[in-house]
Structure 1
């Protein structure tokens, strides 16, 4: 089914291929909560921008991976490239015309603990509906990190540094998550005062600490 949608003023128009019965994600992270965004994540080849390329502006924050496109005339973000699915598109279901929608099932997504839950969305943008692992590295089950028992491995002043360390630990098969009080990246200055923490389970603490110590030139923290 081809659904049509766009921004409030009509400058931005798009089409998206998706079932009549939609499954949408309601995220509770800071930016999604503020914009009341309702996600329909699809592969990029299922999305077509019909009009309004020249009307689009882009907002980025934190890691800069997510490309938050919005209409410069009316300010509406009708679609964007999400950090969880950089190979796909997230369409705002609230911006779709209702005529082609039979039903909408809404699933809650805990975006406030993004690092712990992002893997749940990865398959949505895969063209064959199967999650691929282009790095060739076995995926790490970060749900193995029990937040009640986890220990702080490192504290960083900037989230980018923490993301670098997390990526290295995951590539070595160590489950780890990042926590920080920077309002989902909207207030990065809080990271400098409160810090961004890497958490691991006690069973992995010694090995994770050794791995970070062995990184060339080290990592600040």
Structure 2
């Protein structure tokens, strides 16, 4: 199976090389852009930022590869075992795990029409990818909560020093320390709940734990 966008920008002659890679034993062949010269400066920078962000979030993706790819029958069958409904295919296909290769090609200018992916859709696309594959944002909230608690401890020390010097307004110290400390505790509590929700989130996806590439087991006894 070969998937390709309908805007005629992907080079169809790369299909020959994809099929050659398939005949060499690769089950997944990614069409990868050799450059982004046809993109605007903003599109190039935002694309690089997107792939860098996804990598830091723990999402395994092939940079500069969209939906132009070849997949063998068994790779497609393995992909269909993923039961989730919010499909982020760029992150799901690498999870199949079969041997893969890349084919570089030069993307052409758009033949007709305009891009259907403005900035708002790109941001939504990135959010879908992160929320479908990563629980890192939950841990970031927990880190933020501990940071706020540390700031509240610093405020506690600072206000005690100011109180001993007699340079504080009555009630200001307790109010500021309470706000910062309780805010940090709330963030930590929310992130702890989020950890449990994240585990439920992963369980409900019911993704296959592994994919058997080759089975050489032959029973000795009937």
TM-score (norm 1): 0.28
The normalised TM-score by structure 2 is 0.28
Greater strand share, structure number: 1
Q: Which has the higher contact order (CA 8 A, sep 6+)?
A: 2
Greater gyration radius = 2
Structure richer in helix, relative to its length:
2
